[in-house]
């Protein structure tokens, strides 16, 4: 009886081992995630980095102030329309204008002086090319007529003078007052408007 005991336990061990092997074969396999494919570095040298481009800006107008200067305006053909001598001149970039103080000057027609002017202040507008005189403006023609006004504007596009704010035009034998006067450069073709008063004097 004692000789069969080890044999019995051997048989039992073999049966348990076979059962365990079959259980292991029937177990579901674990999911295997394949490794990501290796990235191949690009061939050749790397492309140089391109710096971001900034929008081009227009060069600013010069910030200048000149003493005892002169400013001259011309038409589209380059012919002189007016010139002003001034005690002070400054360029104002933000407002796109040139400001002059204590001005005297002349207006021209086909290169010939027609009117001499004087004013406390003048502003030249860079965009429109207009010129505005203010502060006791006096304009006198070569034949002796005189125009006085608080404000006179030269409209370059229309080639005309517009005086406003209480205008007085004096010529031989006549004084004309009005709120506004529109005239060509030699004051010979003139339109008066607003509270027009004409005073006729003797010869």
Which pLDDT band holds residue 162 (cuts at 50, 70, 90)? very high
Q: What is the CATH number of the domain that holds 176?
A: 2.60.450.10
Exposure letters 132-151 (e unless 16+ CB within 10 A, then b): bbbeebebbbeeebebbbeb
Is 30's pLDDT higher than 70? no
Classify residue 165: in a domain, yes or no.
yes
Which pLDDT band holds residue 23 (cuts at 50, 70, 90)? very low
Classify residue 174: in a domain, yes or no.
yes
Classify residue 97: in a domain, yes or no.
yes
Which pLDDT band holds residue 19 (cuts at 50, 70, 90)? very low
Tally of domains within the chain: 1
Classify residue 129: in a domain, yes or no.
yes
- The pLDDT mean for the chain works out to 77
Q: What is the pLDDT of residue 38?
A: 53
Burial of 11 (0-12, 13-18, 19+ CB in 10 A): exposed
Classify residue 29: in a domain, yes or no.
no
Q: What is the pLDDT of residue 52?
A: 56
Is 31's pLDDT higher than 90? no
Is 102's pLDDT higher than 60? yes
Classify residue 35: in a domain, yes or no.
no
Is 156's pLDDT higher than 60? yes
Classify residue 161: in a domain, yes or no.
yes
pLDDT tens profile 35-72 = 555 555 555 555 555 555 555 554 444 443 444 578 88
What phi-psi label fits residue 128: left (phi over 0), alpha (psi between -120 and 50 degrees) or beta? alpha
CA distance 132 to 135: 10
Is 73's pLDDT higher than 50? yes
Q: What is the pLDDT of residue 178?
A: 96
pLDDT tens profile 110-121 = 889 999 999 999
Q: What is the pLDDT of residue 176?
A: 95
Is 167's pLDDT higher than 80? yes
**H helical segments located in the chain:** 5-26
Q: Can you give the residue range of the structural domain that contains 127?
A: 65-200
Is 3's pLDDT higher than 50? no
Mean pLDDT of 98-102: 91
Q: What is the pLDDT of residue 177?
A: 96
For 175, the token pair is: 């004084």
Classify residue 4: in a domain, yes or no.
no
- 14 phi and psi angles, rounded to 5 deg: -65, -40
């Amino acid at each position: 009886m004692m000789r069969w005991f080890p044999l019995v336990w051997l048989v039992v061990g073999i049966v348990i081992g076979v059962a365990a092997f079959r259980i292991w074969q029937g177990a579901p396999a674990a999911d295997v995630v394949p490794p990501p494919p290796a990235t191949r570095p690009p061939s050749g040298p790397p492309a140089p980095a391109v710096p971001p481009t900034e929008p081009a800006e227009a060069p600013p107008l010069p910030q200048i102030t000149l003493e005892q200067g002169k400013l001259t305006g011309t038409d589209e053909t380059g012919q002189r329309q007016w010139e002003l001598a001034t005690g002070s001149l400054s360029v104002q970039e933000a407002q796109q204008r040139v400001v002059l103080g204590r001005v005297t000057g002349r207006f021209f027609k086909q290169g010939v002086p027609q009117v001499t002017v004087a004013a406390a202040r003048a502003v030249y507008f860079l965009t429109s090319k207009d010129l505005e005189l203010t502060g006791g403006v006096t304009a006198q023609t070569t034949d002796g007529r005189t125009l006085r006004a608080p404000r006179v504007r030269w409209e370059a596009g229309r080639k005309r003078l517009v005086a406003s704010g209480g205008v007085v035009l004096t010529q031989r034998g006549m004084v004309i007052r009005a709120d506004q006067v529109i005239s060509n450069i030699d004051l010979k073709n003139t339109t008066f408007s607003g509270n027009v008063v004409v005073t006729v004097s003797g010869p």
